[in-house]
Amino acid sequence: MHELMMPVLLALVILLGGVAGAAVLTWWERRLLGFWQDRYGPNRLGPFGIGQVLADMIKLLTKDDWVPPFADKVVFIFAPTAIVVAMMMGFAVVPFAPDVMIIDVNIGLLFFLGMTSLAVYSVLLGGLASNNKYALLGGLRSAAQMVSYEVFMGLSLMGVVMMSGSFSLVDIVEAQTDVWFCFSQALGLLVFVIAGIAESHRLPFDLPEAEHELTAGFHTEYGGMKFAMFMLGEYLGLMLISCMIVTLFFGGWMGPALIGHWLPPLAWFGLKVFFVINFFVLLRAAIPRPRYDQLMSLGWKVMLPITLVNLVITGAVLLWMEGAV
């Protein structure tokens, strides 16, 4: 009974913590953007503007829950839910510490890739169901962008799988006891980070919702809690991608070899995730949005060759090491 209760309790903690974390992250991101761009962020409500989170929640909760008469009502309502469910399911296989995870399966990495793939249905269905030309263009952009970058995301991780010999995220973390994969799989890390930005629609790759071109893209017709769920899914995706970057390339819950015992494993994991999230926010502050054709060309003409080169080099090195032994 105890073994069953722990995953259930952890799932509830992740569910509540994910929602609360996404809410706080909206404030933290705006504060950092203000600092890096030499302007004020939220600063009126509460200390350092933290009350802005509560104000935004009240605003979204009290808005009229309106469905356009020209929209496909059932799909229109379902679409925002799909992305939140897919992102939450992705956290099920994340190992936060040696014994702190919902489930450890030998296909954990494949499960994560599968959940991120399902998220494309939310954006695509939201754009189609809205029956709006801007939303439709945003949905089509998202379908092409996410499906394309899923290919590069999956291929960028094959070097990690080859070096660890497993699809289990726990095994991948334990394989980094001596050296983190961010050194031996630097090319894979580069591609995975770029693909993660594209998958989660983060700036500068937020082209499915580019407000300068498409008003708001796939969620043009959404408001109130439905719009809030799209934003919740985006921030959950940011946190999930950050967790996976730490797990796959930066040793997961393990600290650096020389000072790894100064903090408990869960603290090391949280600290690394915090720095990765800040890095994503810095990208939003520093890099302009490219054209859509440039984004797709980057994927197929640059990212794909890099992943293939990384696979060849990794395979050759592993075969040479086996022969040397």
Q: For 101-137, what is each residue's pLDDT tens digit? A: 888 888 889 999 988 888 888 888 888 888 888 888 8
Given a cut of 60, is residue 97 above it in pLDDT? yes
**Annotated domain spans of the chain:** 65-324
Give yes or no for a contact between 273 and 279, defined as CB atoms under 8 angstroms apart: no
Q: What DSSP character marks residue 97?
A: B
Least confident range from 59-63, 83-87, 156-160, 303-307: namely 59-63
| Cα separation, 171 vs 176, whole angstroms | 9
Residue 76 pLDDT greater than 80, yes or no: yes
On whether the CB atoms of residues 318 and 163 are closer than 8 A, the answer is yes
Find all residues with CB under 8 Å of 240, minimum gap 6, and list them.
Answer: 87, 90, 91, 94, 112, 116
| Mean pLDDT computed over every residue of the chain | 85
pLDDT band at 249 (very low <50, low <70, confident <90, very high): very high
- The number of residues making up the chain comes to 325
Q: Tens digits of per-residue pLDDT, 193-236?
A: 998 888 877 777 777 666 666 666 677 778 788 888 888 888 89
pLDDT for 260 equals: 62
Residue 183: how many other CB atoms lie within 10 Å = 10
CA gap 159, 156 in Å, rounded: 7
Instruction: Give the residue from 306, 307, 160 showing the smallest Cα distance to 246.
Output: 160
pLDDT for the residue numbered 213: 62
Does pLDDT of 2 surpass 60? no
Nearest-angstrom CA–CA distance, 230 and 198: 16
Residue 256 has pLDDT above 60, yes or no: yes
Work out the pLDDT band at 246, boundaries 50, 70, 90: very high
